[in-house]
Amino acid sequence: MGKRTFSIGGVHPHDNKISRDCRIKPLAIPPTVYISMSQHIGAPAKPVVAVGDKVKVGQVVAEPGGFVSAFIHSSVSGTVKSIAPRADLAGNPVMTIEIAVEGDEWAEGIDRSETLVTAIPSDNKAIIEKIRLGGVVGLGGATFPTHVKLMPPPGSKCERVIINGCECEPYLTSDFRTLLEKGEQVVIGAAILRQVMGNVPCTIAIEENKPEAIVHIREVIAKLGYEGIEVMTMKMRYPQGGEKQLIDAVMGRQVGSGALPISVGAVVQNVATALAVYDAVQKNKPIIDNSVTVTGACAAQQANLLVRVGTPLRFILDAVGGVPESAAKIISGGPMMGRAVANLDAATVKGTGALLLLTEAETRRKPASACIRCGKCANACPMGLEPFLLNRLVKAGDMEALEENAIQDCIECGCCLYSCPANIPLLDNIRMGKGAVLGAIRARAAAAKAAAEAAKK
């Protein structure tokens, strides 16, 4: 079978995987960690510890604040110093547990040995509960609680689990390294996920620029002897790792506007999430650390580091030679979808995958000029939107027309901005408009719910 890709839009940025040969090395534990209560999509978690409490690595420090929410565990052993709002990487206050580190004592029951546990428990309900208790969330960017994805709503049925190993964002290499260095664990995680979803087939999708990973994972599947798991080689194309794009590429099915992947029979999880599932189910290890790529042409060193959750960004950068004078901008994530870091004292969260250092020349935007109606932005949009039109409607503040033109479907991939010869800040404007429209949709839903409840009384 030829190499697959998605059918609408997309771009081909240079992949710049300059840290691809850097093995994942554990970073030292910082003197203090700052554990955010908002590390997942959904309601923030609620602290269950108090100032002065002693905690161990892997101990629960916060419980889910709602159905779509997740447990949070201490990534270190030590004493809780404060529970208070603290600035995140954008400078916004987020409830945070500050823990002063003392030693490295782990909670009971966590298997820290290197022994590979291949026998998968047969009780699927118990597996999902372990994933929930392990605080596992989607680590490909969305941080959606994984156990919720594994419980399809009545009437929907999973037909295929897709493991996203595309890592299509330029510069990022932590998933690639994870495939090479923790391939067995990823494959067992994939086998657990396909079992839970009803022994459906599972596709591990890897882009063609990672041939070593494709070969290695095929060998691992053969060695472990799991059935129903295949590796699919994908063409290089951004944003192939987007959930809807990957489903289109692998299954040839389109997820409708506002619909979930399960509506077309798909459950998508990222490589790092499959590893977290293995850890939670086979080793009783919750998410307390994650792999972070530190990269950029101006970075003192390229690195892939295993970092305890809650480690200050400054501590990470200091460990790899500090921030060079030539670095004008630091991005958390990749250059296409990442977020600018405004506060180096912010700490990592479960979903932190990379710190990218860029120079002034690499970040400088050319001055914007008038739209020449070339249509390149619309051709590049993988969601089939018309970015030039959305941009105009955002400027006009026409909320109704924005919703009619499905601005809420924008996945903020930046393909439109990347393609625009007039350098119009399409992504910034569309992101702003999308936020306003989603706010209006949520307010409408809340009002409708309140009216329905009032009518019942």
Nearest residue (CB) to ligand SF4, 83 versus 416: 416
Nearest residue to 56 via CA among 105, 98, 96: 105
Nearest residue (CB) to ligand SF4, 117 versus 422: 422
The residues that touch ligand SF4, with contacts defined as CB under 6 A, are 371-377, 380-381, 383, 385, 387-388, 410-416, 419-422, 424, 426-427, 430
Q: What's the min distance (Å) between Cβ of 337 and ligand SF4? A: 9
Q: What's the min distance (Å) between Cβ of 301 and ligand SF4? A: 32
Nearest residue (CB) to ligand SF4, 105 versus 409: 409
Q: How far is CA 3 from CA 160, 250, 265, 395, in A?
A: 19, 10, 22, 40
Distance, in Å, from the CA atom of 444 to the CA atom of 46, rounded to the nearest integer, reads: 27
Nearest residue (CB) to ligand SF4, 204 versus 385: 385
Q: What's the min distance (Å) between Cβ of 233 and ligand SF4? A: 25
415 phi/psi in degrees, rounded to 5: -60, -35
- The gap from C-alpha 277 to its chain's centroid, in whole angstroms, comes to 14
Q: What's the min distance (Å) between Cβ of 239 and ligand SF4? A: 7
On the CB side of 448, CA atoms within 13 Å amount to 6
**Contact indicator for 143, 40 with CB cutoff of 8 Å:** yes
Q: How far is CA 120 from CA 126, 185, 356, 445, in A?
A: 11, 12, 37, 41
Neighbours of 455 (CB within 10 A): 7
Nearest residue (CB) to ligand SF4, 361 versus 432: 432
Nearest residue (CB) to ligand SF4, 133 versus 389: 389
Nearest residue to 243 via CA among 141, 158, 332, 173: 141
Neighbours of 70 (CB within 10 A): 32
Nearest residue (CB) to ligand SF4, 7 versus 82: 7
Q: How far is CA 27 from CA 30, 58, 103, in A?
A: 9, 17, 15
Q: What's the min distance (Å) between Cβ of 433 and ligand SF4? A: 10
Q: What's the min distance (Å) between Cβ of 334 and ligand SF4? A: 14
Q: What's the min distance (Å) between Cβ of 368 and ligand SF4? A: 9
Nearest residue (CB) to ligand SF4, 160 versus 376: 376
Nearest residue (CB) to ligand SF4, 278 versus 388: 388
**Contact indicator for 402, 390 with CB cutoff of 8 Å:** yes
Q: What's the min distance (Å) between Cβ of 283 and ligand SF4? A: 38
Q: What's the min distance (Å) between Cβ of 403 and ligand SF4? A: 14
**Contact indicator for 215, 145 with CB cutoff of 8 Å:** no
- The gap from C-alpha 82 to its chain's centroid, in whole angstroms, comes to 28
Q: How far is CA 104 from CA 57, 62, 327, in A?
A: 7, 20, 34
